Amino acid sequence: MPEPAQEQAPAELEIGKEYPPPGEDIATTQLRQLHLKVHHVQPGANRRGEHPKGHGGVWATFRVERDIPPGLRVGLFKEPRSFTALVRYSNGRTADDRMPDVHGMAVKVLIPRDGNTPLQQDFIMADHVIFFAKNVQHILEFLVATAGGTPASQLAITTHPALIGYTNKAQSSPLALSYWSQTPYLAGEGAVKYFAMPSPDQERLPVPLADSPDCLKEAMIEQLTARKLCAKFDFCVNPQTDAAVMPVEDPTIEWKSAPVKVATISIYPQKFDSPEQVTFVENLTWSPWDGLPEHRPLGGINRARQLVYQDSQELRHQTNAVTIGPITGREWF
Ligand code: HEM
């Protein structure tokens, strides 16, 4: 079968442009098949194919900054205003929070529309600056090497040599970690990577982690429900200022441009662990592709995620026999 035509990277790379490598579509098809297979053999295909353990889904305010530089004033960041957001914290793979792992922060911003249910803008981040796989072929090879399907091989993923240095033993509450998008996104004429870090100007009483497999959820409950303390994050971007030094197609390379703060995420005190709320959040979906065209995901890893996330979401919704309606922002349980 002839390979689909692919663009070759020109000698001069351009800001905000994508350069899919040859063979990516084939690798993506294999990645989708393998991901579904691995997902099926996990105990219960009713959970996410990655990041199955959520620590909590919490309601927040997403406030866009004033004085954002003109080039970044697009889409969600066009004008200073506040939105309702829902944030899910998760482990990459492990059920025991004391193990080293990747930790996720998935933000869903609800954009109101007159007479309609809100639009959604998702930002998906993890607690490491860069991703461990360069491209789709690389992540496929990693998954082939670790796709044994047994609990031991699932665990082996978090300790696999390719992941050394990419997984961390959480030293503090998910509300006190920093998170990066690792992969790039369109921003007007250019591209950016996102990150969220705990705002330096907030009251920070450290919440010690208990010696418990659920210590991360427990630390969130301690802060938000028991002590009733808000958690604030500065939401920032690193713009792509040099297309060769900050490539769109290789998320193993950090973009070290000067960061620009574009929003504040404020998670207010709340109770978030009722069984109904947990079920509501666990049934929801976050995807890099759920958002405004102005913030379209860029690069091969993001292109592959569009289909892999869709597969995982469809599979768990079928298995759980749930249909997800539009979110209004008034879902408190
Ligand atoms: C090709 C590479 C990747 C694959 C195959 C992959 C796969 C997946 C899958 C299947 C899910 C579950 C989707 C669902 O059922 O809702 C997921 C969720 C997630 N992924 Fe990825 N992922 C990739 C790259 C990344 C990257 C680069 C990041 C870093 C930011 C990331 C962070 C997350 C997080 C935080 C979640 C949980 C989202 C939530 O809370 O709903 N993933 N991933």
Q: Please give the full DSSP string across 219-276, using - where no structure is assigned.
A: HHIIIIIIS---EEEEEEEEE---TTTS-SS-TTS---SPPEEEEEEEE-S-----HH
Q: Which domain holds residue 115?
A: 54-303
| The length of the chain, given as a count of residues | 333
In DSSP terms, 233 is beta-bridged to 198, 265
SS3 assignment, position 112? strand
What would the pLDDT profile of 18-44 be if each residue is shown by its tens digit? 999 999 999 999 999 988 887 655 555
Contact 259, 200 (CB under 8 A): no
Question: Is there a contact between 77 and 68 (Cβ–Cβ < 8 Å)?
Answer: yes
Residue nearest to atom 23 of ligand 1 (CA): 305
Cα of 305 vs centre of ligand 1, distance in Å, is: 7
Give CA–CA dist 22/118, Å, rounded: 38
Q: What percent of the chain has pLDDT over 70?
A: 89
Q: How far is the CA of 70 from the centre of ligand 1 (A)?
A: 31
Atom 4 in ligand 1: which residue has the minimum CA distance? 305
Query: Where are the strands (E) in the chain, listed by range?
Result: 53-64, 82-91, 103-113, 116-126, 179-180, 185-187, 190-198, 231-239, 260-267
Distances (CA, A) of 72 to 119, 150, 244: 20, 46, 21
**What CATH number does residue 186 fall under?**
2.40.180.10
Contact 20, 7 (CB under 8 A): yes
The atom number, within ligand 1, closest to the CA of 88 reads 40
Q: Is 177 in the pocket of ligand 1 (CB under 6 A)?
A: no
Is 101 part of any domain? yes
Whole-structure pTM value:
0.93
Residue with CA closest to ligand 1 atom 18: 50
Q: How far apart are CA 208 and CA 183, in angstroms?
A: 31
CA 143 to CA 141: how far, in whole Å? 5
Kind of pairing, strands 260-267 and 185-187?
unpaired
Max avg pLDDT among 147-156, 160-169, 252-261: 252-261
In a domain, 18, yes or no: no
Q: Whose CA is nearest to atom 36 of ligand 1?
A: 51
Burial class of 38 by CB neighbour count within 10 A (0 to 12, 13 to 18, 19+): buried
Q: For ligand 1, say whether the CB of 131 is within 6 Å of any of its atoms.
A: yes
Asked if the structure places residue 323 within a domain, the reply is: no
Tokens of 28: 């993506």
What is the atom index within ligand 1 of the atom nearest the CA of 131? 27
**Secondary structure E strands in 199-259:** 231-239
**Domain total in the chain:** 1
Characterize the bridge pairing of strands 82-91 and 260-267: unpaired
- Whether 322 is in a domain gets the answer no
- Distance separating alpha carbons of residues 152 and 258, to the nearest angstrom: 42
**CA 127 to centroid of ligand 1, rounded, Å:** 13
Instruction: Please tell me the distance from the alpha carbon of residue 32 to that of residue 35, in angstroms, as a whole number.
Output: 5
Q: Is 87 in the pocket of ligand 1 (CB under 6 A)?
A: no
Q: Answer yes or no: is 36 within a domain.
A: no
Q: What does each C-alpha distance from 161 to 38, 54, 136, 200 come to in angstroms?
A: 20, 25, 18, 34
Say which residue the tokens 């950090």 belong to: 254
Cα–Cα distance for residue pair 108/12, rounded to 1 Å? 36
Cβ of 125 below 6 Å from ligand 1: yes
Q: Is residue 164 part of a domain?
A: yes
Task: Output the CA 2–ligand 1 centroid distance in Å.
Answer: 30
In what helix (H) or strand (E) does residue 317 lie, and over which residues does it extend? helix 300-320
Q: Which residues are paired to 89 by β-bridges?
A: 56, 105
Residue 31 lies in a domain: no
Does the beta carbon of 135 sit less than 6 angstroms from any atom of ligand 1? no
Query: Which atom of ligand 1 lies at the shortest distance from residue 126's CA?
Result: 30
Residue 11 has pLDDT above 90, yes or no: no
DSSP state of 26: H
Of residues 126, 39, 67, the one with CA closest to residue 310:
39
Centre of ligand 1 from the C-alpha of residue 276, in Å: 24
Domain-located, residue 319: no
Q: Given a cut of 60, is residue 132 above it in pLDDT?
A: yes
**pLDDT in the model for residue 210:** 95
> How far does the centroid of ligand 1 lie from the alpha carbon of residue 150, in Å?
21
Taking each helix axis from N to C end, the angle separating 300-320 and 136-146, rounded to the nearest 10 degrees, works out to: 50
pLDDT band of residue 150 (cuts 50, 70, 90) is low
- pLDDT over 80 (residue 212): yes
pLDDT(162) > 90: no
Atom of ligand 1 at shortest range from CA of 302:
1
120 in Cβ contact with 182 (< 8 Å) = no
What spacing in Å lies between the alpha carbon of 312 and ligand 1's midpoint? 10
Query: What average pLDDT does the structure give for the chain?
Result: 90
Of 48, 144, 313, best ligand 1 pocket probe by most atoms within 8 Å of the beta carbon:
48
Ligand 1 centre to CA of 88 (Å) is 12
**Cα 216 from chain centroid?**
17
H helix or E strand, kind and range, residue 198: strand 190-198
> How much distance in Å is there from the Cα of 201 to the middle of ligand 1?
30
- What pLDDT is recorded for position 51? 93
